Chains A and B, each alone.
Chain A
Amino acid sequence: MIDRPRLSELALSGMLVIAAYVAWPCDASAEPPRGADCVTSELLPQSIIACAEISDVGGVLETVLNHPLRAKLEAMPAYDGFMASGAPGQLQMGLRAFEASMGKPWQEALDTLTDRGVTVALDASDGGVAILVHSSEAELLERFRGFILALRQMQGATAKQGDYRGFMADLVGDDVKLVRMHDWLLVTNNSELGKSIIDQYLDRDDETLASHETYLAARKNLEGSAEHRVVSAFLDIKTLRDAGVAKDIFAEKIDNFVGEVALGGVLANLRHTPYVTGQFHLTTAGLSLQLTAPHQREWEAPREYFFGEPELAAAPPLLNVPNRVFALSTHRDLSQMWLRAGELLTEKGNDQLAVADTTLTTFFSGRDFGEDILGSLDSDVQLVGMEQDFSDVLPQPAIKLPAFALQFRMKDAAETKPELRRIFQSFVGFLNVVGAMNGQPPLDLGMESIGEADLVTATYVPDRDERESRSAKIQFNFSPTVAFDGDRIIIASSTPIARKLIEPNSDSENTNGVEDAVQDSNTAARLDVTPLKRILESNRSQLVANSMLEKGHGKEAAEAEIGLLLELLGFFRDVGLNLDVTDSQMALQVAVDVEADTEVQK
């Protein structure tokens, strides 16, 4: 058993090297034509609607391979287990074969192969995709081609070749073809696209992407600091829209109310904006993605609820609680949106909403949900999630979920508070009646006060023989609570998080660095990884079971997988998301921070 992989590894490397060299001489004839010295956009046709340029693959590799986390990763017992499992053996084998055919270490080979850029381009027609790799060493590209062909042969695929204007195209996938044009390597799934690129390479006389108006505007948008930028991308929204692609996204109205709340303004912008640009940054401290699109206020009228009225509105600060898992704040006038749903949603969406309205109005004791309930709240929406502490709590649920709370400001607390309190009480009564029919445990209503604040709580009452249970039903994660504090109303999934949000000594709206960033954002969100990891840890047996069931793993393999997953999660610090809107631009930013400066602990 031990001998087998080594033998085949040797054989594989040998064959690949031979194959690569056999493939080599046939190239000698090709003269570098005029297209050899152009930039990628000059080779691409104007029908390209999206492209991403990856610069500095070598630099990315260096950042990743020399990252402090790498040492930490390799020091993990789970990593050893993974290495011993044999799965990476194939990868190692492949890498060694790659190195053998390239004649240099793989990092160096990759760096050289791609040192003049890699571009992925999507064509408007038939989902044609082209990947163009530009290298300073044509010879290395040819070896790479030989390597790929040999690999295909090893996998038992039959070789198929074709010739176009003197260039050999090899079939390397279901309909993926590979062509080398001197110091360019072209991979595409669409023959027409491939031909047009080769034509352009040889003739250089057509209109190209480089002269396309939208592309030029987008390029301009991408100018500026390129430090640590590894990918810059462009998406031609206008052409996409005109071509009728992804109609659902560009449809004037959508079906779904929740979708409209979350993304209505963004989708509205996509219906008018000419293009979107994207940038991907990578540093030792983390990675970030930024998507930007031109934006104009007057493009869309009925979405004041989203952007704010009369001028751009910002989200309230992110709430903070101990052991916070996530927080999200946004500016949304839900009442306006509910009432104007007729203009905003499709007929189908409105049908659904009308049915929901009937149900909700029943729940809310005949009060009109859109006008009376949502209408009593301000447009500041704050959501926060928290890890729950079950250490002294019985019964304890078998699956431990985070608690979450939604906070609004009431326009007229004196008016609204008693009303919503009554509604909550009758809602709990309603749940008890329905729950009793379905065998659910009953809820016990309670009241408490903290300072000036009032809480109405509802707690699940366990069966007599389950009071001490440590594997109670999932319901025992919840103790639905509504809290009133001044003009604040907090709707919480459990009493403790509501208490945390009103206890006077906890600065629930602290204003350290992160929260400040909210100031300009329409929507801001943050995910804290450490508490999230702890929640997952406390559900480890569930995760292991899931892995066994869904991946068919044995127990040990599943435990190893989940162990590794949780360890890896520990490498991340937090994820932040911001939607920033200005008078001319809309930008979505997602940033992932890693634990860059951790010491390796032996």
Chain B
Amino acid sequence: MNDMKMNGMETIDPVWAWQPYQPSADQTWDRRSAAHLFRRAGFGTDLARIDESVKRSPADVVGELVAGNQEPSEFRSTAEALAEATLAGGDPAKLSAAWVYRLLYTPNQLLEKTTLLWHGHFSTGAEKVQDARMMWNQNQLLRDHALGDFAAMVHEISQDPAMLIYLDSAINRKAHPNENFARELMELFCLGEGNYSEADVLELARCFTGWEIKNKKFRKNRYQHDSDEKNVLGQTGAFDGEDGVRIVLEQPAAPLFVARKLVRFFVCDEPSPSDAMLQPLADLFRESDLQVAPVVQRILGSNVFFSSMSVAQKIKSPVELVIGMLRSLKATTNAGLVADGLLSIGQGLFYPPNVKGWDGGRAWINSSTLLGRANLMADILDNDSTRFDGKSLSEYLRGQDVETTDQAIEYFEHCLLAVRLSEEAKAQLRETAASHSGDRERRMRSLLHAVTSLPVCQLC
């Protein structure tokens, strides 16, 4: 708990924290802060775009990112056609590759990043659901609301076939109310532990009786619905499932709970901020009728987001590491390879580990995943299909006027690292690069492999 003092999140003034960031001599708006914004609001972008953004105001750039809350129809139709083609085979693992493709090509990184957030939040695993199309439909649902209406998202997720199958709630009879979904709705999706009682779980479960999945579709079985009076979270009435969701979302704990999730996702892994710190965001969330975009916009444009409490204060998820490297160098590669690799290092898309989703932070890291991260990078850089803006890495870098090892180290530092390298670290990298006898392409790829395997590159 030393960390908390180090980080300073506890002593910070909540009003200052969420006020719009104004560049100052202390906190300049430069390549580093712009790259930070792009890494957090997405996965990362190439240096040209970073440099172009530095010329504009941070608020302007954040505004543009948040405004991309729907996919352009052309990209959406390409991505959907791709997903449809993979669905024909019926294998959810292939679907994972189709999402990787989307992450690599999307013009709206913030939308995909937020979709990924909700995928972990409303955790549903294909291993149990087994049906690729259901997983895909849920994914579209999350994307449609990712930066939109949180309440609508919860209402739809509570009738989503993949979710209900995942939570063993495909059948919910009057005589045996299934508590599973009711419990997760409050504990994991909307309120958090401590904001409801066991009695509330029982009563809420009664609201959902009769909700079932038949032939892969949601339906309300009125013969199995308990139409008697219930007492949920202090309200009394003959509630049905929709009422249940509405009542949960009306709780004061709800906006605070979601704000905490968003701050942990966008700002820093640890320590967990105090309620007081989150209150301004929770208020904003409630005022905007649980619209996600305004809160995300406030966070990404805030003082605290650009402060030392946030920069380099997250551990990259596997997706952030891999997609980040690729997008920062305009690279494309074999999406299936990436999808399988992500699964092996702990973040298989459509394969979250359990109902809680990915814990994130330090839980990403152990000796097996660290080796796995370095090895996945090796596999990607060894793969013939890996191209950088359609070129080899050395050609791409040459186009950026990067010719020497020193220039390359500096280039990678700017687009991939949240923390500056010390001179000694650079010397070590130079030494590593010098130990290769291969041609320039091989040396550049080795250097990139080394940089992405460094502990510092695991920071976001």
Asked if chains A and B are in direct contact (CB within 8 A), the reply is: yes
**Given that A155-B440, A552-B335, A555-B78 are contacting pairs, would A439 and B131 also be in contact in the complex, using a CB cutoff of 8 Å?**
yes
| B residues near A463, Cβ cutoff 8 Å | 215
A-B complex: 4 closest residue pairs judged by Cβ atoms: A156-B440, A552-B332, A398-B88, A545-B85
Per-residue contact bits, chain A 139-174, to B (CB 8 Å; 1 contact, 0 not): 000000000000010011110000000000000001
**Given that A439-B131, A473-B90, A541-B81 are contacting pairs, would A552 and B437 also be in contact in the complex, using a CB cutoff of 8 Å?**
no
Residue in A474, A545, A550 whose Cβ sees the most chain B Cβ within 10 Å: A545
* A157 and B439 contacting across the interface, CB-CB below 8 Å: yes
* A544 and B85 contacting across the interface, CB-CB below 8 Å: yes
* B437 and A541 contacting across the interface, CB-CB below 8 Å: no
**Given that A157-B437, A157-B439, A158-B437 are contacting pairs, would A549 and B89 also be in contact in the complex, using a CB cutoff of 8 Å?**
no
| A residues near B104, Cβ cutoff 8 Å | 552
* B438 and A542 contacting across the interface, CB-CB below 8 Å: no
* B89 and A474 contacting across the interface, CB-CB below 8 Å: yes
CA distance in complex: A155, B436 (Å): 14
CA distance in complex: A440, B455 (Å): 47
| B residues near A542, Cβ cutoff 8 Å | 85, 88
Residue in B85, B215, B440 whose Cβ sees the most chain A Cβ within 10 Å: B85
Name 4 extra pairs, CB < 8 A, besides A155-B441, A552-B332: A174-B438, A550-B334, A552-B101, A552-B333
CA distance in complex: A471, B81 (Å): 12
Q: Is A228 located at the chain interface by the 8 A CB criterion?
A: no
Q: Is B426 located at the chain interface by the 8 A CB criterion?
A: no
Q: Is B336 located at the chain interface by the 8 A CB criterion?
A: yes
| B residues near A552, Cβ cutoff 8 Å | 101, 104, 332-335, 385-387
Per-residue contact bits, chain A 535-579, to B (CB 8 Å; 1 contact, 0 not): 000000110111011111111000000000000000000000000
Min distance, Cβ B272 to any Cβ of chain A, angstroms: 38
CA distance in complex: A174, B439 (Å): 9
Min distance, Cβ B162 to any Cβ of chain A, angstroms: 14
Residues from 96 to 117 in B contacting A, C-beta threshold 8 Å = 97-98, 100-101, 104-105
Per-residue contact bits, chain B 127-155, to A (CB 8 Å; 1 contact, 0 not): 00011000000000000000000000000
CA distance in complex: A546, B97 (Å): 10
**Given that A156-B440, A174-B438, A439-B131 are contacting pairs, would A554 and B105 also be in contact in the complex, using a CB cutoff of 8 Å?**
yes
* A548 and B101 contacting across the interface, CB-CB below 8 Å: yes
Min distance, Cβ B441 to any Cβ of chain A, angstroms: 7
Min distance, Cβ B303 to any Cβ of chain A, angstroms: 39
- A-B contacts, 20 of them at CB < 8 A, read A152-B439, A155-B440, A157-B437, A158-B437, A174-B437, A397-B88, A399-B88, A541-B85, A542-B85, A548-B82, A548-B101, A549-B82, A549-B100, A549-B101, A549-B334, A549-B336, A550-B335, A552-B385, A552-B386, A553-B332
Q: Is B86 located at the chain interface by the 8 A CB criterion?
A: yes
Residues from 511 to 556 in A contacting B, C-beta threshold 8 Å = 541-542, 544-546, 548-555
| A residues near B130, Cβ cutoff 8 Å | 439
| B residues near A541, Cβ cutoff 8 Å | 81, 85
Across the two chains, which residue of chain A brings its CB closest to B331? A552
| A residues near B89, Cβ cutoff 8 Å | 399, 474
Residues from 239 to 265 in B contacting A, C-beta threshold 8 Å = none
CA distance in complex: A474, B439 (Å): 47
Across the two chains, which residue of chain B brings its CB closest to A151? B439
| B residues near A473, Cβ cutoff 8 Å | 90
Min distance, Cβ B388 to any Cβ of chain A, angstroms: 11
Across the two chains, which residue of chain B brings its CB closest to A397? B88
Across the two chains, which residue of chain B brings its CB closest to A153? B439
CA distance in complex: A273, B138 (Å): 61
Min distance, Cβ A137 to any Cβ of chain B, angstroms: 29
* A545 and B81 contacting across the interface, CB-CB below 8 Å: yes
Q: Is B84 located at the chain interface by the 8 A CB criterion?
A: yes
* B90 and A474 contacting across the interface, CB-CB below 8 Å: yes
Give chain B's interface residue range (CB within 8 Å of chain A).
35 or more
CA distance in complex: A552, B104 (Å): 9
**Given that A155-B439, A158-B437 are contacting pairs, would A551 and B88 also be in contact in the complex, using a CB cutoff of 8 Å?**
no
* B98 and A549 contacting across the interface, CB-CB below 8 Å: yes
Across the two chains, which residue of chain A brings its CB closest to B86? A545
* B81 and A551 contacting across the interface, CB-CB below 8 Å: no
Per-residue contact bits, chain A 361-403, to B (CB 8 Å; 1 contact, 0 not): 0000000000000000000000000000000000001110000
Min distance, Cβ A192 to any Cβ of chain B, angstroms: 21
Interface residues of B (CB under 8 A from A): 78, 81-82, 84-90, 94, 97-98, 100-101, 104-105, 130-131, 215, 332-336, 385-387, 394, 437-441, 443
CA distance in complex: A398, B334 (Å): 23
Min distance, Cβ B191 to any Cβ of chain A, angstroms: 34
Across the two chains, which residue of chain B brings its CB closest to A90? B395
Q: Which of B84, B97, B105, B131 contacts A471 (CB 8 A)?
A: B84
| B residues near A155, Cβ cutoff 8 Å | 439-441
| B residues near A156, Cβ cutoff 8 Å | 394, 439-440, 443
**Given that A463-B215, A473-B90 are contacting pairs, would A549 and B335 also be in contact in the complex, using a CB cutoff of 8 Å?**
yes
Per-residue contact bits, chain A 85-129, to B (CB 8 Å; 1 contact, 0 not): 000000000000000000000000000000000000000000000
| A residues near B440, Cβ cutoff 8 Å | 155-157
Min distance, Cβ B88 to any Cβ of chain A, angstroms: 3
Across the two chains, which residue of chain A brings its CB closest to B78? A555
Min distance, Cβ B72 to any Cβ of chain A, angstroms: 13
* A550 and B90 contacting across the interface, CB-CB below 8 Å: no
CA distance in complex: A552, B332 (Å): 5
Across the two chains, which residue of chain B brings its CB closest to A463? B215
* A471 and B385 contacting across the interface, CB-CB below 8 Å: no
CA distance in complex: A473, B385 (Å): 30
Across the two chains, which residue of chain B brings its CB closest to A471? B88
CA distance in complex: A157, B438 (Å): 6
CA distance in complex: A553, B86 (Å): 16
CA distance in complex: A552, B102 (Å): 11
| A residues near B215, Cβ cutoff 8 Å | 463
Min distance, Cβ B136 to any Cβ of chain A, angstroms: 13
| B residues near A550, Cβ cutoff 8 Å | 334-336, 385
| B residues near A549, Cβ cutoff 8 Å | 82, 86, 94, 97-98, 100-101, 334-336
Residue in A156, A474, A550, A552 whose Cβ sees the most chain B Cβ within 10 Å: A552
| A residues near B105, Cβ cutoff 8 Å | 554
Min distance, Cβ A1 to any Cβ of chain B, angstroms: 10
* B385 and A551 contacting across the interface, CB-CB below 8 Å: yes
CA distance in complex: A463, B385 (Å): 40
Across the two chains, which residue of chain B brings its CB closest to A398? B88
CA distance in complex: A214, B385 (Å): 43
CA distance in complex: A475, B441 (Å): 46
**Given that A550-B336, A552-B387 are contacting pairs, would A545 and B82 also be in contact in the complex, using a CB cutoff of 8 Å?**
yes
| B residues near A399, Cβ cutoff 8 Å | 88-89
| B residues near A152, Cβ cutoff 8 Å | 439
Across the two chains, which residue of chain A brings its CB closest to B335? A549
CA distance in complex: A478, B323 (Å): 40
CA distance in complex: A471, B333 (Å): 28
CA distance in complex: A399, B90 (Å): 11
Across the two chains, which residue of chain A brings its CB closest to B391? A86
Across the two chains, which residue of chain B brings its CB closest to A545? B85
Min distance, Cβ A562 to any Cβ of chain B, angstroms: 12
Min distance, Cβ B350 to any Cβ of chain A, angstroms: 15
CA distance in complex: A555, B78 (Å): 7
CA distance in complex: A439, B90 (Å): 12
Min distance, Cβ A52 to any Cβ of chain B, angstroms: 26
CA distance in complex: A255, B440 (Å): 45
Min distance, Cβ B14 to any Cβ of chain A, angstroms: 44
CA distance in complex: A546, B89 (Å): 11
CA distance in complex: A155, B443 (Å): 11
CA distance in complex: A157, B100 (Å): 35
| A residues near B94, Cβ cutoff 8 Å | 549
Residue in A158, A473, A474, A549 whose Cβ sees the most chain B Cβ within 10 Å: A549
Min distance, Cβ A364 to any Cβ of chain B, angstroms: 29
| A residues near B387, Cβ cutoff 8 Å | 552
Min distance, Cβ A601 to any Cβ of chain B, angstroms: 31
CA distance in complex: A398, B94 (Å): 15
Min distance, Cβ B385 to any Cβ of chain A, angstroms: 4
Per-residue contact bits, chain A 466-480, to B (CB 8 Å; 1 contact, 0 not): 000001011000000
